[in-house]
């Protein structure tokens, strides 16, 4: 069972005609944020903690792809079926197809509680598509949080990370262990090591990030929305650091 205050994100994970339950509530000052940073910095964990603080919905494209792989093929949209074919071959899903899947869930970008976009955009082309879509919908991006961490620490974190097969909650065998070994604290589901967290996959992921995603840092810095945050320390310390930076940015904007 999911926590009572956590929307199940059905419309984001599965696309139309699914609806989230309960519907995310509208807040007076919704935050619309992109979370950046190499694999292993804890973007998913921070998105969960920020959701609890800001009430913004956690929109993870990685969760969408994992949900696609778990659904019956008759329940998939054409874009989802095409993406699944790439995934089964072990190939990267093309930008155009990733964007098509995001567009299927376009209503989530207009969520009254705001959003925390995790895993998208990953390329300059995706960033431009997102910028145009938000501009067309009259939605403003508040900030892009870029989490920074030394590579040695990233490797250590990834090797110990465990993810709930059901609700996607993230734990760590030493830093954030579950109360019961291999069992999710939130829903009781099994905790597993993702294939892309295995040592042989880590270097490939870091190289892909440097080639395709790191250039986004320069783009958002030029646009004046980039906020760099150290990801060292406990998840709670990193979250507090993030909230402080966001409050400072808000104060500057209103000055």
Bridge-based pairing of strands 170-172 and 161-164 is antiparallel
Mean pLDDT on 88-101: 88
Range with lowest mean pLDDT among 14-28, 118-132, 184-198, 238-252: 14-28
Task: List the structure tokens of 150.
Answer: 């030394």
Which residue numbers are catalytic? 43, 122, 161, 194, 205
Residue 190's contacts (CB-CB under 8 Å, 6 or more residues apart) are 164, 165, 166, 182, 183, 184
**CA dist., res. 186 & res. 77, Å (int):** 30
**CB distance 177 to 198 below 8 Å:** no
Question: Contact, 19 vs 108, CB < 8 A?
Answer: no
Domain spanning 10-254: CATH superfamily: P-loop containing nucleotide triphosphate hydrolases (3.40.50.300)
Per-domain residue ranges of the chain: 10-254
Q: What is the mean predicted confidence (pLDDT) over 189-211?
A: 85
Residue linked to tokens 């990685």: 62
Q: Which residues contact 60 (CB under 8 A, 6 or more apart)?
A: 44, 47, 118, 119, 168
User: How far is residue 232 from each of residues 68, 156, 191, 213, measured CA to CA in Å?
Assistant: 32, 12, 24, 21
pLDDT tens, position by position, 135-185: 999 999 999 999 999 988 888 888 888 999 998 888 989 888 999 999 999
Choice between 249 and 147, residue whose per-residue pLDDT is larger = 147
Indicate the pTM of the whole model.
0.82
- Which of 17-21, 74-78, 100-104, 172-176 is least confident? 17-21
Check residue 99 and give its pLDDT.
93
Q: What is the pLDDT of residues 27-58, one digit of tens each?
A: 778 899 999 999 889 898 899 999 989 989 89
């Amino acid at each position: 069972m999911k926590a009572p205050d956590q929307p199940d994100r059905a419309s984001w994970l599965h696309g139309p005609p699914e609806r989230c339950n309960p519907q995310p509530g509208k807040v007076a000052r919704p935050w619309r944020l992109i979370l950046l940073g190499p694999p292993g910095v804890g973007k998913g964990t921070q998105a969960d903690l920020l959701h609890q603080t800001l009430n913004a919905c956690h929109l993870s494209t990685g969760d969408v792809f994992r949900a696609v792989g778990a659904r019956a093929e008759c329940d998939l949209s054409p874009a989802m079926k095409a993406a699944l074919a790439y995934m089964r071959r072990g190939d990267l899903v093309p930008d155009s197809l990733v964007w098509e899947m995001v567009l299927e869930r376009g209503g989530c970008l207009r969520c009254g509680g705001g959003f925390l976009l995790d895993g998208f955009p990953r390329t300059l082309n995706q960033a431009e598509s997102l910028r145009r879509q938000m501009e067309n919908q009259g939605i403003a991006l508040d900030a892009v949080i870029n989490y920074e961490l030394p590579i040695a620490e990233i490797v250590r974190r990834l090797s110990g990370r465990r993810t709930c097969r059901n609700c996607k909650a993230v734990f760590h065998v030493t830093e954030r262990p579950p109360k019961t070994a291999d069992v999710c604290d939130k829903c009781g589901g099994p905790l597993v090591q993702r294939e892309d967290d295995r040592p042989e996959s880590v270097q490939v992921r870091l190289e892909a990030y440097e080639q395709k995603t790191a250039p986004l840092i320069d783009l958002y810095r030029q646009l004046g929305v980039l906020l760099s945050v150290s990801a060292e320390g406990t998840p709670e310390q990193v979250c507090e650091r993030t909230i402080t930076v966001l409050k400072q940015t808000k104060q500057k904007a209103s000055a």
